[in-house]
Amino acid sequence: MTAQAANPIILLGPPGAGKGTQARLLEEKHGLIQLSTGDLLRAAVKEGSALGREAKTYMEAGKLAPDDLMIRMIADGLQKPEARRGFILDGFPRTVAQAAALDAMLEQKGLSLGHVIVMAVDEEALITRITGRMTCAKCGEGYHDSFKPTAKPGVCDKCGGTSFIRRPDDNAETMKTRLAAYHAQTAPIIPYYEKRGILRRVDGMAGVDAVALQIEKVLGAV
Ligand code: AP5
């Protein structure tokens, strides 16, 4: 990968755009660290920590959790020694305040953003993506009822696990609130990065491998 691509990357897009899917591929291929605020929050909810209890109500309603909580979470993530290898932010920043806080954190570390990649999608298709999503309870491998089914029904291809999890916020009703939050609070950060000339768009409606290839091209890795 080029030196530029080793700078932090942001994957941006509405719920179900494929941010997590692509972040995991980049992690496997380039050894970058995926910092997913959604995954970190879900882990905190599972643990039953004070942070998890605070975040749960927002997540289940499809609303954004408070900025100060999210900024603290990312500041902790950036302290991890592995993050020095380079990281992909998936689900953060999601407000202009979070974007400004990220700039300050990176500046303190002498880092600057590489690329902000917007995954452009047809919102009609997102409900199907979200409602068909499931994850292996044992190893966390992601699947989709139609787009990425397990090879053998009910058995994880990766670890053989037979129990799968569906997210409580992955339903058509909550999705309306999540999309509204994206438009009202997250989309305004697009011009914030566009002005700096670091924003790139990829077609998130292409197949998973085709999207990955577009991202690799943006990063100058192919
Ligand atoms: P978070 O977990 O970040 O959810 P999200 O942004 O709504 O994104 P998703 O994880 O739902 O979708 P994705 O884009 O990663 O898609 P995926 O790759 O899984 O946040 C959850 C909640 O936490 C928020 O609502 C909020 O409450 C809180 N939160 C988190 N961060 C926050 C922050 N910074 N500030 C405040 N609150 C915050 O793909 C979806 C499905 O589609 C999968 O099944 C996949 O297999 C399939 N798929 C993926 N790509 C393709 C493709 N190209 N073609 C066909 N199918 C595909």
Which three-class secondary structure string do you get for the chain?
CCCHHHCCEEEECCCCCCHHHHHHHHHHHHCCEEEEHHHHHHHHHHHCCHHHHHHHHHHHHCCCCCHHHHHHHHHHHHHCHHHHHCEEEECCCCCHHHHHHHHHHHHHCCCCCCCEEEEECCHHHHHHHHHCEEEECCCCCEEECCCECCCECCECCCCCCCCEECCCCCCHHHHHHHHHHHHHHHCCHHHHHHCCCCEEEEECCCCHHHHHHHHHHHCCCC
Per-residue pLDDT, 14 = 97
Residue from 28, 41, 51 whose mutation best tests the ligand 1 pocket (most atoms within 8 A of CB)? 41
- Beta-strand pair 164-165/133-136: antiparallel
- Side chain identity at 171, as an amino acid letter? N
Ligand 1 proximity of 94 Cβ (cutoff 6 Å): yes
Residues 129, 132, 136, CA angle at the centre, nearest 5°? 115
Handedness of CA 108, 111, 114, 119 (dihedral sign): negative
Per-residue pLDDT, 6 = 59
Q: Is 53 a catalytic residue?
A: no
Residues 6+ apart with CB under 8 A from 104: none
List per-block mean pLDDT (blocks of 10 residues) for the chain, which spans 222 residues: 63 96 93 92 93 94 96 90 87 97 93 94 93 94 93 97 96 95 97 95 96 95 72
Handedness of CA 165, 9, 172, 184 (dihedral sign): positive
Q: Looking at 24, 56, 138, 167, which residue is catalytic?
A: 167
* Distance, CA of 87 to CA of 106 (rounded, Å): 12
Ligand 1 proximity of 211 Cβ (cutoff 6 Å): yes
12 alpha carbon – ligand 1 mean position (Å): 10
* CA-to-CA dists, residue 174 to 1, 21, 57, 77, 88, angstroms: 38, 21, 12, 28, 26
* Distance, CA of 12 to CA of 92 (rounded, Å): 8
